[in-house]
Amino acid sequence: MAAPFSPPHGQYCADCGMSLDPGSLICGHCRRFVHAEQMQDLANRARQLTALGQLNAAREHWQAVLNLLPLDGAPRKDVLREIEKLNLRISPPPAKKSDWRKRLGPLGIAVAALAKFKTALLLLLTKGKFLLSILAFLGVYWGLFGWWFAVGISAAVLCHEMGHYIAVKWFGFKAELPMFLPGLGAYVKWSGANVDPGVRAIISLAGPFFGFLSGMLAYGVYSATHQVIWLAVAQFAGWLNLINLVPVGIFDGGAAMTAIGKQQRFMIAAVCFAMAFILHEWAFLFVALGAAFRIWRRDFATEPRQGIAFLYIAIATANGLLSWYCLNQGRQLFFQHRV
């Protein structure tokens, strides 16, 4: 016997509860898409497949979204645009031989350069908020440590954030340029529901990885110029990125831990405890304690990724060694100058 009070699935709007016409794709009452969650899932899968290079499968997912969308409206155009982009990548059109730039010769090159300059200028104007936030961020460190340290640190933080940004874009999600919070740090706002934990972990680890690269760059500048300020920037970058790997809360390590299982958390804790006592770089201790906390919390990944755990350890160790090495160099310089 059918229960009289449980309506057949899909007959009522999930938002306003009004009854739906059979086969309708949009609620006539509140305009909610009937298959909203399913479409969101399909779109996320499609973006992840695109990032993995499985373009045909991605296109099929977008086409499935199309079947669930009403015939008019902006979302349909967006989906068609995604499919068009994929079509171009799957079978690119033959290159045009008589490019207008070539026909115009050197003048054409100049015009093209000018056009690029104009888009750069436009970008600068439209991303003004982003630039202003960097300036405010700079201001606080300027007051504390002086101008060059502020520039160096802000550049290192920018590199860290661009790591997240590039990873988010690489996986095909929408992201905003980094926002700087004066004196606190920066963040990249991005959207993507139902993201694979492995993908989320890689996006999180991309920040400390790019941050490490920027620290190495600063050390390179120090080696070339022997200006101590760059040594300080390199040390601070290494330290800051290691701290960012403390696997709790909003730190990058916190998100990365969602793809990591029990044994791998023990491994991370053990390596970081060892590093803390060998190098006396106490930021490692915080990472180790964080990993221990996440073992205690038992929120282990359902599908642990060994590769992510190794990446985690590699990036933490690299940043910690950079910080430790630069600090020791700085101490040596200090004692040399005192004697």
| Site of interaction with Zn ion (CB under 5 A) | 207, 252
DSSP string of 145-192, one letter each residue: H-HHHHHHHHHHHHHHHHHHHHHHHHTT-EEPPPEEETTTEEE--EE-
Beta carbons of 212 and 238 less than 8 angstroms apart? yes
334: phi then psi, degrees, rounded to nearest 5: -60, -45
Q: How far is CA 68 from the centre of its chain?
A: 30
Minimum CB separation of residue 295 from Zn ion in Å reads 23
Minimum CB separation of residue 67 from Zn ion in Å reads 38
Q: Which tokens go with 149? A: 């340290």
**Residue 98 — left, alpha, or beta (φ > 0 → left; ψ -120 to 50 → alpha)?**
beta
Minimum CB separation of residue 145 from Zn ion in Å reads 22
Q: How many Cβ atoms sit within 10 Å of the Cβ of residue 19?
A: 12
Nearer of residues 186 and 301 to Zn ion, judged by Cβ = 186
Nearer of residues 172 and 207 to Zn ion, judged by Cβ = 207
Nearer of residues 65 and 188 to Zn ion, judged by Cβ = 188
Minimum CB separation of residue 241 from Zn ion in Å reads 8
Minimum CB separation of residue 228 from Zn ion in Å reads 27
Nearer of residues 252 and 281 to Zn ion, judged by Cβ = 252
What interhelical angle do 262-279 and 306-338 show, nearest 10? Answer: 10
Cβ neighbourhood burial of 309 (10 Å; 0-12, 13-18, 19+): buried
Nearer of residues 59 and 164 to Zn ion, judged by Cβ = 164
Nearer of residues 45 and 208 to Zn ion, judged by Cβ = 208
Cβ neighbourhood burial of 62 (10 Å; 0-12, 13-18, 19+): buried
Minimum CB separation of residue 277 from Zn ion in Å reads 27
User: Computed from CA positions of residues 230, 232, 233, 238, in that sequence, does the dihedral angle turn out positive or negative?
Assistant: positive
Residue facing Zn ion at closest CB distance: 207
